[in-house]
Homo-oligomer: A and B are copies of this chain.
Amino acid sequence: MTVSRVLNKRPDVAPQTRERVERMIAQSGFVPARAANARREGRHGLIDLVVPALDTGYSLEIARGVEAALEPTGYRLVLSCTYSSSRDPAKQERTWLARLSQGKTDGAILVLYADQSRRLEALRRRHIPFVIVDPVGDLGPDVPSVGATNWAGARAATEYLLSLGHRRVGFIGGPPSLLCAEERLSGYRSALEAAGTRVTPELVRPGNFMDDVGYKQTLALMELAEPPTAIFAGSDSQALGAYGALRQLGKCVPDDVSVVGFDDTLVAPLVTPALTTVRQPLAEMGRFAVRNLLRVIEGRPLSSMRVQLATTLIIRGSCAPPGQGS
């Protein structure tokens, strides 16, 4: 019964006896359940990636980068989606975070949709390392995150439209809770103000990054007494929605209305006219998120908690000076 007392951590066992019994059990291949799990994790670790949905080029590109970076490490990639038309994204996110923090994971890369600061507490309490891509809200200084230079990208795109002669530039934005959406709006405003052009509230349309928002907001913008001559969409998906709305109105891109997107997803060069857009290095952001997550897991310091990778304006065929149409 000495063994029973050791196993149940009873105090009435001599230290040497306890040690001998524990060593014997360890050598036999029997291990406490917790240690068995830890050992497995070392051998075939799991990294979770959570994205809103796989049907946007944005999530897909990030997933590609994460997959490519994890491949040589031996970690396996666990993929979850939180957004679909048939699901409540906030509920999905809660379900997922609960599952993650109860389950087995070595760390997580999170592209979240709804405000999540409280939910991240659940991960912190369970000591699950994580990195955020495109943060939502103010997460505080201790949360590692990776994003793109949204402000600079939006400013460059707006400056380009201004340089073509546009003065009424519509802006279709993302959810105001997303830092990247706020930064893009701010870059747009900044370019207009620097050029001495008034920021017109009726031309600024927040929403989400999906194509139906691009479609609806373009219809609304074109119904204004003085419609814009150019539309800067906060995502390529929105820009394709804008293409659809303009086609329906019999307007030609770029002769009647110029369109700029944001992301440079796989479809941008394939559509007609090919989409001028702000390139986010999404796959690179995914790779960087993996790199920083592995550092956190290994307990190594990060050179910077918040990293922004550079955006680039990619000029294709969807912009022209205003007043080119018949």
User: Which residues of A are at the interface with B, using a C-beta cutoff of 8 A?
Assistant: 3-4, 7-8, 21, 24-25, 28-33, 36-37, 39-40, 43-44, 46, 48, 54-55, 60, 63-64, 67-68, 71, 74, 76-81, 84, 87, 99, 102-104, 240, 266-267, 270-272
Using Cβ atoms and an 8 Å threshold, which residues of chain B touch A76?
A: 48, 78, 80, 99, 103
Using Cβ atoms and an 8 Å threshold, which residues of chain B touch A78?
A: 46, 76-79
Given contact pairs A33-B36, A76-B99, A77-B80, a sample of 5 additional A-B residue pairs in the complex whose CB atoms are under 8 Å apart: A3-B21, A43-B103, A54-B67, A55-B64, A78-B78
Contact between chains at A55 and B271 (CB < 8 Å):
no
Partner among B29, B40, B44 whose Cβ is within 8 Å of the Cβ of A99? B44
Instruction: Kindly provide the distance from the CB of A25 to the nearest chain B CB, expressed in whole angstroms.
Output: 7
Question: With A and B bound together, what is the CA distance between A104 and B75 in angstroms?
Answer: 12
Instruction: Kindly provide the distance from the CB of A76 to the nearest chain B CB, expressed in whole angstroms.
Output: 5
Using Cβ atoms and an 8 Å threshold, which residues of chain B touch A31?
A: 30, 33, 36
Using Cβ atoms and an 8 Å threshold, which residues of chain B touch A79?
A: 63, 67, 77-79
**Chain copies in complex:** 2
Using Cβ atoms and an 8 Å threshold, which residues of chain B touch A39?
A: 33
Using Cβ atoms and an 8 Å threshold, which residues of chain B touch A81?
A: 67-68, 71
Using Cβ atoms and an 8 Å threshold, which residues of chain B touch A4?
A: 24, 28
Using Cβ atoms and an 8 Å threshold, which residues of chain B touch A67?
A: 54, 79-81
Question: With A and B bound together, what is the CA distance between A197 and B32 in angstroms?
Answer: 72
Question: With A and B bound together, what is the CA distance between A78 and B104 in angstroms?
Answer: 13
Question: With A and B bound together, what is the CA distance between A31 and B8 in angstroms?
Answer: 13
Question: With A and B bound together, what is the CA distance between A30 and B28 in angstroms?
Answer: 12
Contact between chains at A8 and B37 (CB < 8 Å):
no
Using Cβ atoms and an 8 Å threshold, which residues of chain B touch A46?
A: 46, 78
Contact between chains at A270 and B33 (CB < 8 Å):
no
Partner among B74, B80, B270 whose Cβ is within 8 Å of the Cβ of A270? B270
Using Cβ atoms and an 8 Å threshold, which residues of chain B touch A54?
A: 60, 63-64, 67
Instruction: Kindly provide the distance from the CB of A128 to the nearest chain B CB, expressed in whole angstroms.
Output: 14
26 contacts across the A-B interface (CB closer than 8 A): A3-B21, A3-B25, A4-B24, A4-B28, A8-B28, A30-B31, A30-B32, A30-B33, A31-B36, A33-B39, A37-B37, A37-B40, A44-B103, A46-B78, A54-B63, A55-B266, A63-B79, A67-B79, A68-B84, A74-B99, A76-B103, A77-B79, A79-B79, A240-B270, A266-B267, A272-B272
Instruction: Closest B residue to A41 by CB, please name it.
Output: B104
Contact between chains at B36 and A7 (CB < 8 Å):
no
